[in-house]
Amino acid sequence: EITTAPGPALIYRTIGGNLDIYFFPGPTPEEVTQQYLAFIGKPVLPAYWALGYQLSRYGYKDLDEMKTVIARNIKENIPVETVVADIDYMELRKDFTLGQNWKGLPEYITELHNKGMRAIVIYDPAIQVDYDVFKRGLDARAQFIEWERKDQVPDYQVRFIDILLLLLIAVRAKARASTCH
């Protein structure tokens, strides 16, 4: 809860936890914006094509079904600028593989490119420990996320927010270091 108090004061009431407060003295609104952007970094505009019409669906049984859906949209004048192939194209959901029913995907992507369209293939960052790609990565001394213990795989449930928190801490440290010089 945030309320104002008599005089130049704000009152913060919290149930618990840490509260980080940052002041950007300005003095002008433009300077406050510049100071804020120096702290967090400038926003990045995605590639122009990434802002266009994208068609994505999980559950295609094969490449032919995907082609049929895309062709139908084009025929009905439904805009499609980017086609997204979800993990259905993989063999047994294993990264870096192509399922039997998707063998023509590379050629189809070339066909889409020739029509001025983009294609995205989704990779899930979930390499199973019994998958030969993981074993080859270990042998090649590949970099993996390192947990507080030196286990290859944590023995507890990792939430997405845990990884985001680590990234946020790193970004804040970098921002602080760059503003201190």
Q: What is the pLDDT of residues 141-160, one digit of tens each?
A: 877 666 666 665 555 555 55
Q: What is the pLDDT of residues 28-86, one digit of tens each?
A: 999 999 999 999 998 888 888 899 999 999 999 999 999 999 999 999 999 999 999 99
| CA atoms within 13 Å, Cβ hemisphere of 72 | 7
Determine if the pTM surpasses 0.85: no
Give the residue extent of every domain in the chain: 2-40, 48-121, 141-180
DSSP sequence for the chain: -EEEETTTEEEE--SSS---------SSHHHHHHHHHHHH----PPPGGGGS-EEEES---SHHHHHHHHHHHHHTT---SEEEE-GGGSSTT-TT---GGGTTHHHHHHHHHHTT-EEEE---S---TTSHHHHHHHHTT---PPPSS--SS-SSPPPHHHHHHHHHHHHHHHHHHHHH-
Q: What is the pLDDT of residues 39-53, one digit of tens each?
A: 999 888 888 889 999
